[in-house]
Amino acid sequence: MALEDAKHQIDTAITRDDLKGLAFENAFSGATSFLRRRYTKDLTGVDVAVTGIPFDQAVTNRPGTRFGPRAIRAACSLQPFDPPYGWDGYSPLEALAIADYGDMALDYAYPADVPARIEAHIKGILDAGAAAITLGGDHSVTLPILRAHAAKHGPIALIQVDAHTDTWPDDDPSRIDHGTFCYTAVKEGLIDVAHSAHVGIRTVVEDNLGIHIHDAAELHARGAGAVAADLRARVGNRPVYLSFDIDGLDPAFAPGTGTPVWGGLSSAQAAQLLRGLAGITLVGGDVVEVSPPYDHAEMTAVAGAHVAMELLCLWGWTRR
């Protein structure tokens, strides 16, 4: 750590000039942008824009994920000092121009308007030439994000880490539900089903609409590295969107979520899985369902912050 920089850096979310580079201001102070990146709505020259969608009105159980983006930003303040471990020295904060695009504005009293707002919000980032990494919010936010990505890339391969497949049937387009986003995405043709997969599933699935499942038991038995190799083979060189529901982790590692299910991934397994995906053509991703009101010692927010860093690594790895 550059001690001299630590003496002078403060509020780099506001004051930094360069979109690239590590940051050394004290982890316990300053404006908490994502990884101390600059807050900006100007995406000129930006490779990746990180944005928050503070929406949680589509949950089936415990709310609170509207506070997820803020908690993840605060939890990631320990990470910008060094390149992330396990990536052979690759340093996305130094290699990529990354901006914190802030949160999407919404009127909580008009939840039906939110999906279209999300789609337009993400489309604006993509049209500016940047990739979008999103901090949720409940898992319903992924559907309009997928619409924006599919409009640009066509049907995309989806890797979804989750305790649930979110393929419960729902043929009412006016409903907004975090448990049906994947069902609707398949029905709308947003997902390349044959080359998509769910990872970490440990709830009953009546119809998964043809998407392959690597359930939690398989991952525990075979290892995260083996499952990651299967995923790489399944998606090939197709554009991939990775959605990481934090309840994919066991509640021992991520208690702060709305629908916890025992028997999930450990933090170590999640890290091995994500690093094992290096080489996929990631075009976007999200980490969702971090609910700070049910968290303990900020451990769920810390896990979400690390997942988001791994998404940056995956996006940049094939673009070195």
pLDDT at residue 5 greater than cutoff 80: no
CA 262, CA 145: separation in Å to the nearest integer? 28
**Residues of the binding site:** 139, 162, 164, 166, 245, 247
With a cut of 60, say whether residue 3 has pLDDT above it.
no
Banded pLDDT at 312 (limits 50, 70, 90): very high
Query: For 248-271, how does the pLDDT look when each residue is reduced to its tens digit (9 = 90+)?
Result: 999 999 999 999 999 999 999 999
pLDDT tens-digit readout, 52-99? 999 999 999 999 999 999 999 999 999 999 999 999 999 999 999 999
The confidence score (pLDDT) of residue 268 equals 98
At residue 286, the pLDDT reads 98
Q: How many domains does the chain have?
A: 1
pLDDT at 72 (0 to 100): 98
* Residue-range definition of the domain harbouring residue 143: 3-317
CATH code, domain with 22: 3.40.800.10
Report the chain's mean pLDDT, rounded to a whole number. 96
Residue 8: what pLDDT? Answer: 83
- Does the pTM of the predicted model rise above 0.85? yes
Per-residue pLDDT tens digits for 121-143 = 999 999 999 999 999 999 999 99
Instruction: Please tell me the total number of residues recorded for the chain in this structure.
Output: 320
pLDDT of 7 reads 78
Annotated binding-site members for Mn(2+): 139, 162, 164, 166, 245, 247
Q: Does residue 215 register a pLDDT over 60?
A: yes
